Structure 1
Amino acid sequence: MNLIPKDVGAVIVTYKRPEALKKTIFAILSQDIPESQIVIVNNDPSIQLIPEHIDISFTRLVIKNQLENIASAGGFAKGMKAIVDMGLKWAWLFNDDSRPVEGSFFSIKTALENTNYEKIGLIKIGNLNQTGKAILLNWNGVRVPSYVDPSEELIKTDLVTFDGCLISCLLIEDIGTCDPGYFMGTYEFDYCLKAAKKGYKIFTLPNGQIEDEKMGSVGGTPPWRQYYNTRNHLWMGISRRDFRILRSWLLRELKFTYAILMWEDQKILRLRYKFLAMYHAAIGRRGKVLMPKNN
């Protein structure tokens, strides 16, 4: 399978990180992706971003300014649709604080040329953990990580996250974009399960050729994010009527609730948000409910 830059559009979802965004744009350009095929979804409604705000040399970036923060699920959905509308073949997804390193695109291209698989839906550049192992994700009602030595061979997995993920536009046209109703968290796994159900293959390329600053993961999981983790996982089980997901959700929530009672700060707030999340999943309340300012 041949992969060339002119067939690929990049999506960057950004929120109030101009310097990180600039680094990511230059990193994507260094992979020979044309500037006119870079879509930036700006989730900061306080500024109507234009190319000159980022760098005076940018003139052809495609910027989608949002009237409200639609978070990662909504941002990637907007970006995926934009790439399909451009008539391209692949969408390469990034947050503003993650970016490809030198050789990333070439490594994906080479891996694709060396595989005989058809109907490939998603290919993720695998992140490395602190011990230098590549992270793979499989599914048993909840994500199950495993770890392998870095390599340049595609490994079939059940799940991938979207950061550094290449998604076939044929897949997007077939099943649509990711579901913006998740707002943040779980939407990637929901999308992978939908893709697999349609017969698309999902791969991880475990070479670690992605730089991830993880700027949104500093300081642990805040209460508002726990709300979405709880609600969205439960919603997946309820909407699919999948007992395996519901069982895994229950076991996971018991474990995390115990951790809240024993070690976490803001215990009352965290527990209140968890009960709210369960109620909202049960009644089908989706989309944006809590934001960081609600803490």
Structure 2
Amino acid sequence: MDKQFGGFIITYQRPEDLLNTINQVFAQSFPPQKLWIIDNSADQVTKTAIQNLNDPRLVYYAVGYNSGPAGAAKIGLEMLTKEGFQWIYWGDDNDPPPYPYTFERLFSLIQSNLHLKVGQVGVVGQRFDKNLGKTLRLKNIELEQSPVVAVDTISGNQSKIINSAVIREGILTSPELFFGFEELDFDLKMGSSGYLSLVDSRIFLELREKYQRAQFERPVYSKKSSNSISREYYSIRNLLWILRKNRMMVAYWINVGKSISKMLIGFRFGWNYGVLNMNIVFKGLKDGVLKGLE
């Protein structure tokens, strides 16, 4: 078998979402030949659900502990590269491809750019400002002017498909990040080695229209849900680690300052929220400054 296209989906205790995503992945007009399920769950529910499908295209792998998206992605990338697949879909259990033709369009993009050193493709991406240490939204006019646009990073929930040549060069995710910015860390490594990240402009624009985000402006600061605020620790810590590792020191100190500001801004939403926010942000800032990536 010509192993052109395989994939993996990272999952953690969401078997119903996972089964829906698997169905949509295999319903693609150009589906992966094999699909690994990298399971971070502690129980057997997901394993049983996969076994009940009795689909020879599925391979189940239990990590044995919660390695986070960063650890699970490393496992998936290594396993599929070892199996000899040329292109690797990196998926999340609750984010299926947006359209039935998504993978077909992305492989058409790959075939049209064989003369370039393409490291990955996807449906939505961002640029990264190395001076400010933040992602930048592409303007609509950029997407309208070209069918393909080069970006700096593509999230794992955006039909991210990796060239296994990248993995064979030793470029992988950093498991110690656990959760948050693991794609940015990986993509910056890839970019430093000369690989391009390309997105399909047509799908990008279609998704902006579908979700009414054509004129979206990111708010300076907004109140977070209880689930989101707990993740703020990883966002702050991991971004500081990545910036320092890549010697983006101006951006590093800017983000240290922003984190200090966040500790105070949270009190706009009440005392209880402010104290919770301050404690989480402080811990992320402390670990982001005192620890780091190797």
User: For this structure pair, what is the TM-score category when the shorter chain's length is used for normalisation?
Assistant: 0.7 to 0.9
Show the 5 A alignment for 1:103-114. 103-114=101-112
Secondary structure of the 2:96 match is: strand
Deviation at 1:165, TM superposition (A): 0.5
Query: 1:200 and 1:186 mapped to 2: Cα distance?
Result: 19
In structure 2, C-alpha distance between the alignment counterparts of 1:234 and 1:34, rounded to whole Å: 35
Q: Structure 1: which 5+ residue stretches go unaligned? A: 127-134, 213-217, 287-295
Q: Does 1:16 align with 2:8?
A: no
Q: What SS does the corresponding residue of 1:246 show, helix, strand or coil? A: helix
Q: How large is the RMSD of aligned CA atoms in angstroms? A: 2.9
**Aligned-partner Cα distance in 2 for 1:42–1:255:** 37
| Stretch deviating more after TM superposition (181-190 or 267-276) | 267-276
Provide the C-alpha distance between the structure 1 equivalents of 2:5 and 2:184, rounded to a whole number of angstroms: 23
Corresponding residue number in structure 2 for 1:69: 66
Residues 75-129 of structure 1, C-alpha deviations (whole Å, 9 max, x = no match) = 1111111110110111111111111221111111222233364211111212xxx
Could you report, residue by residue, the CA deviation over 1:138-187 in whole angstroms, capped at 9, with x for unpaired residues?
Answer: 33322122332666822011222122111110011113321111101111
Q: Give the residue type in structure 2 aligned to 1:230.
A: I
Contact 2:240 2:288 in 1 (8 A): yes
Equivalent residue for 1:91? Answer: 88
Q: Where in structure 2 are the equivalents of 1:182-261 lying within 5 Å?
A: 182-206=177-201, 207-208=203-204, 219=225, 222-261=228-267
Inter-CA distance 184–233: structure 2 relative to 1 (3 Å threshold): same
- Post-superposition CA distance 1:37-78 (Å, at most 9, x none): 101111111226436546434244111112211111111111
1:115 aligned to which of 107, 113, 116: 113
Match of 2:127 in 1: 137
* Native 8 Å contact 1:41 1:75 kept in 2: yes
Number of matched residues? 269
Separation in structure 1 between the aligned mates of residue 24 and residue 153 of structure 2, nearest angstrom: 25
Alignment match, 1:278? 285
Task: Provide the secondary structure at the position in 2 that maps to 1:146.
Answer: coil
Partner of 2:174: 179
Verify: 1:159 aligned to 2:166, yes or no: no
For 1:293, the equivalent position in structure 2 comes to none
Conserved in 2, the CA contact under 8 Å of 1:9 and 1:88? yes
Alpha carbons of structure 1 residues 200 and 41: separation in structure 2 relative to 1, 3 Å: same
Deviations along 1:187-233, one digit per CA (max 9) or x if unpaired, are 11111111111111111223147899xxxxx9475332011011111
CA contact (8 A) 1:157 1:203 kept: yes
State the alpha-carbon separation in 2 of the partners of residues 263 and 277 from structure 1. 20
Residues of 1 paired with 2:283 and 2:16: CA distance?
A: 36
In 1, Cα distance between equivalents of 2:114 and 2:84:
25
Deviations 1:230-258 (A, max 9, x none): 11111123333321331341353245334
CA distance in 1, matches of 2:188, 2:36: 26
Write the letter of the residue equivalent to 1:267. Answer: G
Aligned pairs for 1:279-294 within 5 A: 279-284=286-291
Aligned twin of 1:269: 276
**Amino acid of the structure 1 residue aligned with 2:139:** Y
Indicate how the Cα distance of structure 1 residues 228 and 247 shifts in structure 2: closer, same or farther if over 3 A, else same.
same
Contact in 2 for aligned 1:6/1:33 (Cα 8 Å): no
Contact 1:12–1:41 under 8 Å retained in 2 = yes
Instruction: Label 1:162 to 1:5 Cα distance change in 2 as closer, same or farther (>3 A).
Output: farther
Q: Distance in 2 between matches of 1:237 and 1:156?
A: 21
Amino acid at match of 2:93: D
Contact 1:125 1:165 in 2 (8 A): yes
Measure the CA separation in 1 of the matches of 2:279 and 2:161: 38
Structure 1 residues 172 and 53: alpha-carbon distance in aligned structure 2, compared to 1, 3 A threshold:
closer
